[in-house]
Structure 1
Amino acid sequence: MATPTAGEREFLDRMGLCFERFGGPRTMGRIYAWLTICDPPHQSLTEMAAALEASKASISTVVRQLQEAGMVERFPVADRQHHYRITPGGFTHVLRVQMAHARSALDAVELGLSVVDRDRDEQRERLEDVRDFFRFQAEETEALIERWQQFRTQNRQG
Protein backbone atom coordinates (compact mmCIF):
# COMPACT_ATOMS: atom_id res chain seq x y z
CA MET A 1 0.00 0.00 0.00
CA ALA A 2 1.19 3.47 -0.86
CA THR A 3 2.25 5.79 1.90
CA PRO A 4 2.11 9.53 1.24
CA THR A 5 5.39 11.44 1.34
CA ALA A 6 5.84 14.35 3.74
CA GLY A 7 4.99 16.81 0.96
CA GLU A 8 1.93 14.80 -0.02
CA ARG A 9 0.78 14.69 3.61
CA GLU A 10 1.02 18.48 3.75
CA PHE A 11 -1.07 18.67 0.56
CA LEU A 12 -3.65 16.27 2.04
CA ASP A 13 -3.86 18.30 5.24
CA ARG A 14 -4.22 21.61 3.39
CA MET A 15 -6.98 20.20 1.22
CA GLY A 16 -8.65 18.92 4.37
CA LEU A 17 -8.62 22.45 5.76
CA CYS A 18 -10.00 23.84 2.48
CA PHE A 19 -12.93 21.43 2.53
CA GLU A 20 -13.50 22.23 6.20
CA ARG A 21 -13.74 25.94 5.34
CA PHE A 22 -16.40 25.06 2.75
CA GLY A 23 -18.40 23.32 5.49
CA GLY A 24 -17.35 19.71 4.93
CA PRO A 25 -15.40 17.45 7.22
CA ARG A 26 -11.62 17.69 7.03
CA THR A 27 -11.48 13.99 6.16
CA MET A 28 -13.51 14.72 3.02
CA GLY A 29 -10.82 17.02 1.70
CA ARG A 30 -8.08 14.57 2.61
CA ILE A 31 -9.83 11.70 0.79
CA TYR A 32 -10.52 13.82 -2.28
CA ALA A 33 -6.92 15.03 -2.32
CA TRP A 34 -5.60 11.48 -1.94
CA LEU A 35 -7.69 10.28 -4.85
CA THR A 36 -6.19 13.04 -7.01
CA ILE A 37 -2.60 11.90 -6.38
CA CYS A 38 -2.71 8.18 -5.56
CA ASP A 39 -1.45 5.44 -7.85
CA PRO A 40 -3.45 3.60 -9.00
CA PRO A 41 -6.06 6.37 -9.23
CA HIS A 42 -8.70 4.14 -7.64
CA GLN A 43 -8.46 2.93 -4.06
CA SER A 44 -10.30 0.63 -1.69
CA LEU A 45 -11.55 1.85 1.67
CA THR A 46 -8.77 -0.18 3.30
CA GLU A 47 -6.10 1.47 1.15
CA MET A 48 -7.46 4.94 1.83
CA ALA A 49 -7.67 4.28 5.56
CA ALA A 50 -4.04 3.12 5.62
CA ALA A 51 -2.75 6.02 3.51
CA LEU A 52 -4.67 8.64 5.49
CA GLU A 53 -4.15 6.98 8.88
CA ALA A 54 -7.88 7.08 9.58
CA SER A 55 -10.43 4.47 10.55
CA LYS A 56 -12.06 2.49 7.79
CA ALA A 57 -15.47 3.39 9.27
CA SER A 58 -14.84 7.14 9.00
CA ILE A 59 -13.43 6.73 5.48
CA SER A 60 -16.54 4.75 4.49
CA THR A 61 -18.89 7.41 5.86
CA VAL A 62 -17.12 10.25 4.09
CA VAL A 63 -16.72 8.35 0.80
CA ARG A 64 -20.49 7.85 0.84
CA GLN A 65 -20.92 11.63 1.25
CA LEU A 66 -18.50 12.25 -1.62
CA GLN A 67 -20.48 9.81 -3.77
CA GLU A 68 -23.74 11.60 -2.97
CA ALA A 69 -22.10 14.91 -3.95
CA GLY A 70 -20.99 13.38 -7.25
CA MET A 71 -17.31 13.89 -6.48
CA VAL A 72 -16.25 10.24 -6.36
CA GLU A 73 -17.67 7.06 -7.84
CA ARG A 74 -17.30 3.36 -7.34
CA PHE A 75 -14.77 1.88 -9.76
CA PRO A 76 -15.16 -1.76 -10.85
CA VAL A 77 -12.20 -4.05 -10.15
CA ALA A 78 -11.79 -7.82 -9.94
CA ASP A 79 -11.57 -7.65 -6.17
CA ARG A 80 -13.99 -8.25 -3.33
CA GLN A 81 -13.46 -4.73 -2.01
CA HIS A 82 -15.13 -1.71 -3.57
CA HIS A 83 -12.74 0.77 -5.12
CA TYR A 84 -13.39 4.47 -5.61
CA ARG A 85 -12.00 7.18 -7.86
CA ILE A 86 -12.57 10.83 -8.68
CA THR A 87 -15.66 11.13 -10.88
CA PRO A 88 -14.60 11.73 -14.49
CA GLY A 89 -15.65 15.19 -15.58
CA GLY A 90 -14.59 16.54 -12.24
CA PHE A 91 -16.35 19.60 -11.03
CA THR A 92 -18.63 19.80 -14.07
CA HIS A 93 -20.36 16.73 -12.67
CA VAL A 94 -20.39 18.26 -9.18
CA LEU A 95 -22.01 21.43 -10.53
CA ARG A 96 -24.67 19.37 -12.30
CA VAL A 97 -25.43 17.52 -9.06
CA GLN A 98 -25.67 20.84 -7.20
CA MET A 99 -27.93 22.21 -9.93
CA ALA A 100 -30.25 19.22 -9.50
CA HIS A 101 -30.35 19.90 -5.74
CA ALA A 102 -31.14 23.57 -6.42
CA ARG A 103 -34.01 22.52 -8.69
CA SER A 104 -35.36 20.26 -5.93
CA ALA A 105 -35.17 23.18 -3.53
CA LEU A 106 -36.96 25.35 -6.10
CA ASP A 107 -39.76 22.77 -6.29
CA ALA A 108 -40.05 22.80 -2.49
CA VAL A 109 -40.22 26.60 -2.40
CA GLU A 110 -42.85 26.59 -5.15
CA LEU A 111 -44.88 24.23 -2.97
CA GLY A 112 -44.42 26.65 -0.07
CA LEU A 113 -45.75 29.50 -2.21
CA SER A 114 -48.76 27.41 -3.22
CA VAL A 115 -49.76 26.74 0.39
CA VAL A 116 -49.12 30.21 1.86
CA ASP A 117 -52.16 32.44 1.47
CA ARG A 118 -51.79 35.48 -0.78
CA ASP A 119 -52.60 37.86 2.09
CA ARG A 120 -49.46 36.79 4.00
CA ASP A 121 -47.21 39.32 2.28
CA GLU A 122 -44.13 39.01 4.50
CA GLN A 123 -44.03 35.22 4.30
CA ARG A 124 -44.59 35.24 0.55
CA GLU A 125 -41.87 37.84 0.07
CA ARG A 126 -39.37 35.63 1.92
CA LEU A 127 -40.40 32.59 -0.13
CA GLU A 128 -40.23 34.57 -3.37
CA ASP A 129 -36.73 35.72 -2.47
CA VAL A 130 -35.63 32.12 -1.89
CA ARG A 131 -37.36 31.03 -5.12
CA ASP A 132 -35.66 33.77 -7.09
CA PHE A 133 -32.28 32.81 -5.66
CA PHE A 134 -32.67 29.16 -6.68
CA ARG A 135 -33.89 30.17 -10.16
CA PHE A 136 -30.89 32.45 -10.51
CA GLN A 137 -28.55 29.73 -9.25
CA ALA A 138 -29.89 27.17 -11.73
CA GLU A 139 -29.56 29.56 -14.68
CA GLU A 140 -26.12 30.79 -13.69
CA THR A 141 -24.81 27.31 -12.92
CA GLU A 142 -25.69 26.15 -16.42
CA ALA A 143 -23.92 29.20 -17.87
CA LEU A 144 -20.95 28.57 -15.57
CA ILE A 145 -20.67 24.97 -16.77
CA GLU A 146 -20.63 26.12 -20.39
CA ARG A 147 -17.98 28.78 -19.69
CA TRP A 148 -15.92 26.29 -17.67
CA GLN A 149 -15.97 23.75 -20.50
CA GLN A 150 -14.84 26.41 -22.98
CA PHE A 151 -12.11 27.60 -20.62
CA ARG A 152 -10.90 24.05 -19.97
CA THR A 153 -10.80 23.23 -23.69
CA GLN A 154 -8.84 26.41 -24.45
CA ASN A 155 -6.42 25.82 -21.57
CA ARG A 156 -5.73 22.21 -22.56
CA GLN A 157 -5.02 23.20 -26.16
CA GLY A 158 -2.71 26.08 -25.29
Structure 2
Amino acid sequence: MEEEKLEYIEEFGLFFERVGGSRMLGRVLGALMISEPPELSAGELARILRASRGSISAATRTLEQMGMIRRFTRPGERRDYFSVRPHAWEETVRRQAGRISEFVALAERGLKLLDPATPDARESLEEMRDFYAFWEKQMGHFMRLWEEEKRRGRVRKRTGG
Protein backbone atom coordinates (compact mmCIF):
# COMPACT_ATOMS: atom_id res chain seq x y z
CA MET A 1 0.00 0.00 0.00
CA GLU A 2 1.22 3.49 -0.82
CA GLU A 3 2.97 5.48 1.89
CA GLU A 4 0.38 8.28 1.83
CA LYS A 5 -2.43 5.81 2.43
CA LEU A 6 -0.53 4.19 5.31
CA GLU A 7 -0.01 7.64 6.85
CA TYR A 8 -3.74 8.34 6.49
CA ILE A 9 -4.56 5.05 8.23
CA GLU A 10 -2.25 5.96 11.11
CA GLU A 11 -3.82 9.42 11.31
CA PHE A 12 -7.26 7.80 11.49
CA GLY A 13 -6.02 5.54 14.31
CA LEU A 14 -4.55 8.45 16.27
CA PHE A 15 -7.77 10.41 15.84
CA PHE A 16 -9.80 7.50 17.23
CA GLU A 17 -7.41 7.30 20.17
CA ARG A 18 -7.73 11.06 20.85
CA VAL A 19 -11.52 10.81 21.01
CA GLY A 20 -11.44 7.93 23.48
CA GLY A 21 -11.38 4.90 21.21
CA SER A 22 -8.72 2.41 20.40
CA ARG A 23 -6.00 3.19 17.89
CA MET A 24 -6.47 -0.23 16.29
CA LEU A 25 -10.20 0.40 15.79
CA GLY A 26 -9.33 3.61 13.99
CA ARG A 27 -6.61 1.95 11.91
CA VAL A 28 -8.96 -0.84 10.78
CA LEU A 29 -11.72 1.62 9.97
CA GLY A 30 -9.29 3.92 8.18
CA ALA A 31 -7.99 1.05 6.06
CA LEU A 32 -11.51 0.03 5.12
CA MET A 33 -12.45 3.62 4.30
CA ILE A 34 -9.75 3.94 1.64
CA SER A 35 -9.47 0.38 0.32
CA GLU A 36 -10.21 -0.22 -3.33
CA PRO A 37 -12.38 -2.21 -3.68
CA PRO A 38 -13.96 -1.03 -0.41
CA GLU A 39 -13.58 -4.37 1.38
CA LEU A 40 -10.75 -6.31 2.95
CA SER A 41 -10.27 -9.72 4.53
CA ALA A 42 -8.91 -10.12 8.04
CA GLY A 43 -5.65 -11.38 6.53
CA GLU A 44 -5.37 -8.36 4.26
CA LEU A 45 -6.02 -6.05 7.21
CA ALA A 46 -3.34 -7.82 9.26
CA ARG A 47 -0.83 -7.48 6.40
CA ILE A 48 -1.61 -3.82 5.65
CA LEU A 49 -1.64 -2.78 9.31
CA ARG A 50 1.27 -5.05 10.28
CA ALA A 51 -0.88 -6.30 13.14
CA SER A 52 -1.66 -9.69 14.62
CA ARG A 53 -4.72 -11.63 13.54
CA GLY A 54 -5.90 -11.46 17.16
CA SER A 55 -5.87 -7.66 17.26
CA ILE A 56 -7.61 -7.52 13.88
CA SER A 57 -10.24 -9.98 15.11
CA ALA A 58 -10.87 -7.95 18.27
CA ALA A 59 -11.07 -4.67 16.34
CA THR A 60 -13.40 -6.00 13.65
CA ARG A 61 -15.65 -7.59 16.26
CA THR A 62 -15.89 -4.29 18.14
CA LEU A 63 -16.51 -2.27 14.97
CA GLU A 64 -19.23 -4.75 13.99
CA GLN A 65 -20.89 -4.38 17.40
CA MET A 66 -20.71 -0.60 17.02
CA GLY A 67 -22.51 -0.91 13.69
CA MET A 68 -19.62 0.66 11.79
CA ILE A 69 -18.63 -2.30 9.61
CA ARG A 70 -20.22 -5.42 8.22
CA ARG A 71 -18.76 -8.90 7.92
CA PHE A 72 -19.58 -11.04 4.90
CA THR A 73 -18.34 -14.07 3.02
CA ARG A 74 -18.15 -14.96 -0.63
CA PRO A 75 -19.55 -18.19 -2.05
CA GLY A 76 -16.96 -20.94 -2.00
CA GLU A 77 -14.56 -19.05 0.30
CA ARG A 78 -13.98 -19.63 3.99
CA ARG A 79 -12.55 -16.23 4.85
CA ASP A 80 -14.49 -13.27 6.18
CA TYR A 81 -14.43 -9.89 4.49
CA PHE A 82 -15.22 -6.51 6.00
CA SER A 83 -16.54 -3.23 4.65
CA VAL A 84 -17.85 0.00 6.13
CA ARG A 85 -21.62 -0.22 6.57
CA PRO A 86 -23.74 2.11 4.49
CA HIS A 87 -24.95 5.01 6.67
CA ALA A 88 -22.56 3.99 9.48
CA TRP A 89 -21.88 7.58 10.53
CA GLU A 90 -25.54 8.52 10.59
CA GLU A 91 -26.42 5.45 12.64
CA THR A 92 -23.60 6.19 15.08
CA VAL A 93 -24.98 9.69 15.66
CA ARG A 94 -28.49 8.29 16.08
CA ARG A 95 -27.25 5.91 18.79
CA GLN A 96 -25.39 8.74 20.52
CA ALA A 97 -28.51 10.91 20.37
CA GLY A 98 -30.39 8.13 22.15
CA ARG A 99 -27.82 8.23 24.92
CA ILE A 100 -28.37 11.95 25.40
CA SER A 101 -31.85 11.27 26.78
CA GLU A 102 -30.24 8.93 29.31
CA PHE A 103 -28.18 11.85 30.64
CA VAL A 104 -31.38 13.91 31.00
CA ALA A 105 -33.09 11.07 32.88
CA LEU A 106 -30.05 10.52 35.10
CA ALA A 107 -29.96 14.20 36.05
CA GLU A 108 -33.71 14.16 36.76
CA ARG A 109 -33.33 11.16 39.07
CA GLY A 110 -30.49 12.88 40.90
CA LEU A 111 -32.52 16.05 41.32
CA LYS A 112 -35.33 14.07 42.95
CA LEU A 113 -32.85 12.91 45.59
CA LEU A 114 -31.85 16.44 46.56
CA ASP A 115 -33.73 18.85 48.79
CA PRO A 116 -35.25 21.66 46.67
CA ALA A 117 -34.16 24.10 49.38
CA THR A 118 -30.46 23.49 48.57
CA PRO A 119 -29.92 25.31 45.27
CA ASP A 120 -26.13 25.02 45.39
CA ALA A 121 -26.28 21.24 45.58
CA ARG A 122 -28.77 21.13 42.68
CA GLU A 123 -26.88 23.48 40.36
CA SER A 124 -24.65 20.90 38.63
CA LEU A 125 -27.47 18.45 38.04
CA GLU A 126 -29.78 21.17 36.74
CA GLU A 127 -27.07 22.35 34.36
CA MET A 128 -26.49 18.75 33.21
CA ARG A 129 -30.22 18.22 32.66
CA ASP A 130 -30.69 21.51 30.82
CA PHE A 131 -27.58 21.06 28.66
CA TYR A 132 -28.47 17.55 27.55
CA ALA A 133 -32.16 18.43 27.08
CA PHE A 134 -31.01 21.21 24.76
CA TRP A 135 -28.76 18.84 22.80
CA GLU A 136 -31.47 16.21 22.63
CA LYS A 137 -33.76 18.75 20.99
CA GLN A 138 -31.03 20.00 18.65
CA MET A 139 -29.98 16.49 17.59
CA GLY A 140 -33.54 15.77 16.56
CA HIS A 141 -33.57 19.00 14.57
CA PHE A 142 -30.24 18.23 12.88
CA MET A 143 -31.29 14.69 12.00
CA ARG A 144 -34.46 16.06 10.38
CA LEU A 145 -32.31 18.52 8.39
CA TRP A 146 -30.04 15.65 7.33
CA GLU A 147 -33.05 13.62 6.15
CA GLU A 148 -34.24 16.63 4.16
CA GLU A 149 -30.81 17.00 2.54
CA LYS A 150 -30.95 13.36 1.50
CA ARG A 151 -34.50 13.72 0.14
CA ARG A 152 -33.48 16.73 -1.92
CA GLY A 153 -30.57 14.78 -3.37
CA ARG A 154 -27.92 17.07 -1.89
CA VAL A 155 -26.07 14.15 -0.35
CA ARG A 156 -23.82 12.04 -2.53
CA LYS A 157 -25.24 8.54 -2.85
CA ARG A 158 -23.01 5.67 -1.82
CA THR A 159 -22.61 2.80 -4.21
CA GLY A 160 -22.13 -0.79 -3.17
CA GLY A 161 -22.22 -2.16 0.36
TM range (shorter): 0.7 to 0.9
Residue ranges of structure 1 left out of the alignment (5+ in a row): none
Could you tell me which residue of structure 1 aligns to residue 140 of structure 2?
Answer: 142
Residue 73 of structure 1, aligned match among 61, 70, 73: 70
Q: Secondary structure at the match of 1:156?
A: coil
Could you tell me which residue of structure 2 aligns to residue 133 of structure 1?
Answer: 131
Q: Do residues 154 (structure 1) and 151 (structure 2) align? A: no
| Separation (CA, whole Å) in 1 of partners of 2:85 and 2:95 | 12
The equivalences for 1:4-83 within 5 A come to 4-75=1-72, 77-78=74-75, 80-83=78-81
* TM-score, normalisation: structure 2: 0.76
Q: Give structure 1 regions of 4+ aligned residues with deviation exceeding 4 angstroms.
A: 76-82, 149-152
| Separation (CA, whole Å) in 2 of partners of 1:17 and 1:44 | 22
* Deviation (angstroms), 1:36: 1.1
Residue 82 of structure 2, aligned match among 63, 81, 84: 84
Count the aligned residue pairs. Answer: 154
Identity %: 31
Structure 1 residues 5, 142: closer, same or farther in 2, change over 3 A? same
* TM-score, normalisation: structure 1: 0.77
Paired residues of 2:73 and 2:79 also in contact (CA < 8 A): no
RMSD (Å) for aligned C-alpha atoms? 2.6
Structure 1 residues 142, 63: closer, same or farther in 2, change over 3 A? farther
Residue ranges of structure 2 left out of the alignment (5+ in a row): none
| Separation (CA, whole Å) in 1 of partners of 2:14 and 2:3 | 17
| Separation (CA, whole Å) in 1 of partners of 2:79 and 2:120 | 54
